[in-house]
Structure 1
Amino acid sequence: MKKWLIVYSSVTGNTKQIAEAIYNGFNEGEADIYAVKDNFNLADYDNIAVGYWLTRGEPDKKVQELLAKLNNKTVILFQTQGAELNSEHSITAFARAASYLGDNCKILGTFASQGKINPVMLERRKNADKNDPHAATPRNLERWQKASMHPNEEDFSRARAFVEAMKRKISLREKYLNMKK
């Protein structure tokens, strides 16, 4: 198995925590982990897990720039969000992230975790016009409360299990490709 790069962007710490859980899902020496602002060499890795927080339903600008630099890589996308995991917002955010990828990248899998919403953003939303979809409606207040309890140990456990699934997936793919030769 080729070595993985795990690179993430985090403002509130949510994505960093999930990145660390993903890192801990690998055996020692199978992966390196960096913040997007750190120095690392993309050419050293064929497999890259990219984590980000959502802003306006897509990855933050630093991650958008990183994704555009990826070419001929196997990629895992992971995101933290205040939205529910299987919401249209979450699914669309993965599609938007994928649209930033460079040439010939293959997405091996995606992982999402709810996370605490930035307190500054929450304050703005609490004062938003009632017609704003992000306003403090009863449904949004309930979702914000739920998001405030994440990421948690269950999310970290899911992230580690996700790594095992992705390692198995890559192993089966390599086996299949070798059989075709």
Structure 2
Amino acid sequence: MRKWAVIYSSVTGNTKKVAEAIAGAAESADIFRVQDAPQDLSGYDIVAIGYWLRLGQPDALTLKYLAKVENARVVFFQTHGAEPQSEHAITAFARAGYNLGPGCEILGTFGCMGKINPELLARRQAAGPDDPHGGAESRERWERAAAHPDAQDLQAAQELVSRMEHKLALREKYLAKQVAKMTK
């Protein structure tokens, strides 16, 4: 049984919902808001870190915390108003990884749309068509994002846990075979 730390930052509740789904799917998990997360993660086999996007990267609280995460197996999860397979979303995972402390291994990622903070949405409503957040296409995306995370997103977040557990089990089996070959 692997012990999970599920750490999240959330403003609208999107990332918190995903964090709760992940923690609920793990056999053994502790869940923390990023501002309450422990500095010492050595008691955890997997550290899941979730955040919302700000300027194409994790929010400021999460960025500050990522630098303190060292020697951990990490799973990232993020919520945002972008399409999950968009360049914006994918690049945000890379930026999160870049900000991790030394000795970390990234096991996997999960991202889904989420409703946008109403204050930010109000400011974006006035954006013109030349603004990357303006125009009819953006408004349609915001409307889609407002319905997320939905039941399908939360199910996928739960499935992430079993995929990561399976990945680690396969890796351990492979490494054990390699050690056995070297000791013959």
Q: TM-score, normalised by structure 1?
A: 0.94
Unaligned runs of 5+ residues in structure 2 are 180-184
Range 62-71 or range 3-12, more displaced: 62-71
Matched residue count: 178
Other-structure match for 1:140: 138
Give, in angstroms, the shift of residue 43 of structure 1: 3.0
Identity %: 51
Give, in angstroms, the shift of residue 42 of structure 1: 2.2
Cα contact 1:9–1:35 (8 A) shared by 2: yes
1:123-162 equivalent positions in 2, closer than 5 A:
123-135=122-134, 137-162=135-160
1:43-82 equivalent positions in 2, closer than 5 A:
43-82=42-81
1:162-181 equivalent positions in 2, closer than 5 A:
162-181=160-179
Amino acid at match of 1:9: S
Give, in angstroms, the shift of residue 176 of structure 1: 1.2
What is the rounded CA distance, in whole Å, between the counterparts of 2:158 and 2:7 in structure 1? 16
Q: TM-score, normalised by structure 2?
A: 0.93
Q: CA offsets per residue over residues 132-159 of structure 1, 9 Å max, x none?
A: 1101x11111101100000111111111
1:8-157 equivalent positions in 2, closer than 5 A:
8-27=8-27, 30-40=28-38, 41-135=40-134, 137-157=135-155
**Runs of 4 or more off by more than 3 Å in structure 1?**
none
Cα contact 1:46–1:72 (8 A) shared by 2: no
Amino acid at match of 1:156: L
Unaligned runs of 5+ residues in structure 1 are none
CA change 1:93–1:152 in 2 (3 A) is: same
Q: CA offsets per residue over residues 84-107 of structure 1, 9 Å max, x none?
A: 010000000001111001112111
Q: CA offsets per residue over residues 45-83 of structure 1, 9 Å max, x none?
A: 242000000000000111111111111110000000000
CA change 1:117–1:138 in 2 (3 A) is: same
Q: CA offsets per residue over residues 118-175 of structure 1, 9 Å max, x none?
A: 011111111123311101x111111011000001111111111111111100111111
* Structure of larger gyration radius: 2
